[in-house]
Structures are given as structure tokens and as C-alpha cells.
Structure 1
């Protein structure tokens, strides 16, 4: 027998599909990559929350995010990255996950962004309240902030069962050297780093290092914070894009990121359901060949 809340959720989903029939077009079967530490498979197309989830509860933008998450989960997505210093995005994510009944489907990645142990402990308690959960899947030290204090704290929380994985993040090429040094010296489950057609430097040393060390990789800034779209405005896709199953520049930029074998998932943010659906399509079809990747690097150099 179905619980009343399950019936209500199913009814809400049907109503949403009727209002937005494009959701039915979400293709199943996203490409997955395994987390080296455990072998757990994750869909290679994830989602971010910076900017896009910084909205007011109940607003038009909030209701649109409900459709974004419906598209994401129906399309096979799982990984959503957030942070306690994204202008309340984690609280919005937590509320949406609870209202949609999506907590079990979601691989929640969040961060510690604090300058002392006491601040981190206070922040962590608030993070759990914001996300409306008792634990998360991945806890990352944000941009290496006070990492010598915060990484041991994250490991302590892992031992307590409050997070399943721990890692570190950065978003600039200038951080790669220090990230690589930590990967060499510390046991990590994940890193998160920038990697894009116009910023491919991570592939020189950092991504191969992670592959050798068995560290999973999340990719941020695959669109260079949207600047790549300005560069390709009104430009056609490369002639080979259709053969690779690519129908938009967003798909091409994401497929570039996941075509590196060390990359576990890429986490683009959007507040628009049509763009979410488009981004998910990057997780289907063949990956880019080395020659295609190199052609893109040269094009955007």
C-alpha cells in the first residue's frame, strides 16, 4: 500500500510533467564514473548551486528551481555541490530536496569554509540544519581555507558517520600546485578543481596525479563562469560535434571536461530547467577523442 505522501508526490510529479512536458524528454542512462576509494558509481553530470540557488523561498525563481531539480533527477543526476557561504543556497537546496522527496536520490557535496575549529563546528551544525539532513555524502575543505585544521576535522566527521567522503577544493589555476602537494601528502577521497577548454592546465599534472593516487575529481567552472558562452555567441559548433552527440555549446564544454578519464563528475549550475535538461545530454553519446580535445584547447587558447 502506498503512503499518502508518496501518492501526493506522484500527483505533484504528474502535474509538473503536464505543465512542463519537456521533462519527459530527459534521456535515461547517464555516463557514470566510479569513486576510486569505494567503487561507487556516480553520474558524470552533476549540478552546482552557487548563484543559481541564491533565491528567496516561494519566489518565481524558487519554483523554477523545483523544475530544475525534477529535470535533474529524472534525467539520472545525483551529485549536487553546495556550500554554507553561497548566500543561503544550501538552505534552499535542503528545502527543495525535502519538499520534492529527493534526499535519497541526491549525493550531497558541501564544504567547510571556516578559519578555526570552533567556527567549523558551529558552521557544520548549521549546515545540517540548512540541508535538512543528519549527514552528507561529501565534505570538502573550501578553497583550501585553513585546511590543516579543517581536513582533520572533516576526517573526524567521517569517522562519526556524518560524511562518507572528504576532500578539498579550489577554483583557480593558481591553486593547482598546492592542491597537488596535498594530494601527494594526504589521504583524500575527492578534490574539486577548475578545468575547461580555456583553462586546461589541470590535465598537465593534477588530473593524472589524482588518477594515480585514486582520488575522485569534481570539476567546477567548466563554463568559465559563463564567459565561454560570450566567446561562442553566434558561432556554429565544430563540424564533428554532431558525430559526438553534441547539440549545444554547453554540452560540448561539459563533454570536454568528462572526457578526461580522471574526472568523476562536472558540476555546472543553472536556474533554468531547459538548460538543465540540455546539460544532462552531455552525459550521453561518445566522449571526445584526444584530437577533438586538443582542437578545442587550441581554439580557446
Structure 2
């Protein structure tokens, strides 16, 4: 499945692939190579966070012996930072992704430039603590920027342990995540009661189910909102493959279908960040451009969805 997703993105990407990071960085606007990317405020602190990051599910799950992938992912992280980005999201359930991040931080020396978001699964207190310790050991860290409770399913879920970690500076922020429609009621109740710093949800042109209630609830609860699966598990690229961008895309400086999908998300002012899975540096450069230039207003966002649905 992953190979097919990569292929369709290659077919829709208008950026010319380059051999290495040195060739890629100049394709960013000069201002973007430092701080030109849009940043939005984390409501609970006022800290500004750049709006385009990286998700590590699947594509960072590989054996350390695969030097080609290791070098390629290192270039992805370098491209993220060179373009003014900071956010990387991972989880224990993403196979070897945490192990590889530990290796990549050591390779690149960029850990201090990264806003790192991790997760722990809902379990007993002892098991959750053990999972956190194992994650930190794999990533070779002693603290994390954001710790999230992964895939909340219980309407009575509390965040007491995560608050203890925040109080002791083990993490700077706490949050919850969800990717399953069946859990939305429980998630909504938890958001209203617990009011975490962050909320992460699947959201894309392909799947807008969280748009009506969950995202407004999270915003009303004072959460910074991160969106995963912004390409709908590849379904977005499958639909647009081989099709030209609409002429109106020029109005918001969109030059690729990936930017089209990401700018549509970022046009929602409640969204603090998008975290697409990114396995190639040229894709990272392309994604970062979604955080630059004009964003679509509500009228343009509707026009973008209508065009996508008619393809």
C-alpha cells in the first residue's frame, strides 16, 4: 500500500526531485530557510509553533541496517528544520519509529531544534509509566515537549498521570488523540472535562467527520489542534493522480496537490499544525510551502472541497 501512495504522490508532485539536501534547500524561498513558515500560538502558553511538521507512522518504521532509508530520513529532518519547521510526532505503536528517531537525532544533532510529540497508550498506571520510560530510552531523551494519551475511548478518561509528568517537567504539554469515529463521543466528553493543552485528530478532505463537533469542542476547550492523516491514508492522492490543479489554486500560491490538501487544512484557523508522514526530503520541502503565502478563507476552502469532490 505504501508504495502505491508514494507513486501517486510522485505523479502529482510538481517539484523536481533533487539528489540531496544541499540541492533541495535552495528551492525554498530565502526567507523560509530561517523563519518564513507560518506559526500559530499554543493557547495554553502563547508559544508559537510552526504549522507544518512530520508524522512518523509507517515511514520511520524500518530496521537500522537500512542505511539508505536512514540517510533519507535524516535529510527529511534537515529539510524540516531548514524550512523553519520543528514538529515531529511519534508513538510506541509505530513500530521502530522511536528507535530510528533516537538514531536520527544523534546523526543530525538537531534534537534541540525539534518540538517532539510522543504518546502513551491507555493502560494501568504502571504499564503507562513503563511505556514512557521505554520510549525515552529509544529516543535517547530525558524529557519531551508534548506527551499525548493515544486514542482515547473512555468518556471518563482522566489525565492525572500526564499532569504529574508536566508538573515534574518530564513534558511541557499534555494532550489526547483520536483516529476512530466510534470514539468521538468519548473524546468530546474528555476534551470538555480535562481541557488538555493539545488535541490530535484525523482530518482531511477525504475525512471531515471531526469538523462539525470535535474540532470546535477542542478549540473551545483551549486546545492546540494537530491533524494527522491529512491525505486520508493516501486516498487523496489516489483521487487526484494525473489531474491538473485548478486555475484558482494560483490565488493561494498552491503548486502541488499536497499543498492543496495541507493549505485547505491550515485555512481552518483552529488548526495549529499538520503532521503528514514524510519520507523524502523533496516532499518535506513541498509540504513546508503549504505553510507559506496566503491561506484559503472559508469561501475558498469550500471551493477547494467542491472541486476535489467533483474529480
Deviation of 1:227 after TM superposition, in Å, equals 1.2
Q: Secondary structure at the match of 2:234?
A: helix
Q: Go from structure 1 to structure 2 and tell me whether the alpha carbon gap of 1:51 and 1:212 turns closer, same or farther (over 3 Å shift).
A: same
Task: Structure 2 unaligned segments of length 5 or more: list them.
Answer: 1-17
Query: 2:144 — aligned with what?
Result: 136
Deviation of 1:149 after TM superposition, in Å, equals 6.4
- Give the number of equivalent residue pairs: 286
Q: Secondary structure at the match of 1:241?
A: helix
Could you give the per-residue CA deviations for residues 89-136 of structure 1, whole angstroms, max 9, x where no partner exists?
011012101221111100000000242111111111111111111100
Q: Go from structure 1 to structure 2 and tell me whether the alpha carbon gap of 1:21 and 1:240 turns closer, same or farther (over 3 Å shift).
A: same
TM-score w.r.t. structure 2 length? 0.87
RMSD: 1.9
Query: 2:161 — aligned with what?
Result: 153
Deviates most, 57-66 or 224-233: 57-66
Q: Distance in 2 between matches of 1:74 and 1:139?
A: 25
Deviation of 1:50 after TM superposition, in Å, equals 0.2
Q: Secondary structure at the match of 2:148?
A: strand
Q: Secondary structure at the match of 2:117?
A: strand
Query: 1:191 — aligned with what?
Result: 199
Contact 1:30-1:76 at 8 Å conserved across structures: yes
2:45 counterpart of 1:38 = yes
1:201-216 aligned within 5 A: 201-216=209-224
Query: 2:185 — aligned with what?
Result: 177
Contact 1:94-1:131 at 8 Å conserved across structures: yes
Q: Distance in 1 between matches of 2:155 and 2:266?
A: 27
TM-score w.r.t. structure 1 length? 0.90
1:5-24 aligned within 5 A: 20-24=22-26
Query: 1:245 — aligned with what?
Result: 253
Deviation of 1:18 after TM superposition, in Å, equals 7.2
Q: Go from structure 1 to structure 2 and tell me whether the alpha carbon gap of 1:100 and 1:212 turns closer, same or farther (over 3 Å shift).
A: same
Q: Distance in 2 between matches of 1:297 and 1:17?
A: 34
2:69 counterpart of 1:61 = yes
Query: 2:123 — aligned with what?
Result: 115
2:9 counterpart of 1:26 = no
Query: 1:7 — aligned with what?
Result: none
Tell me which of 287, 290, 307 is aligned to 1:282.
290
Contact 2:153-2:183 at 8 Å conserved across structures: no
Contact 2:204-2:265 at 8 Å conserved across structures: yes
Deviation of 1:300 after TM superposition, in Å, equals 4.4
Task: Structure 1 unaligned segments of length 5 or more: list them.
Answer: 1-15
Q: Distance in 2 between matches of 1:212 and 1:117?
A: 29
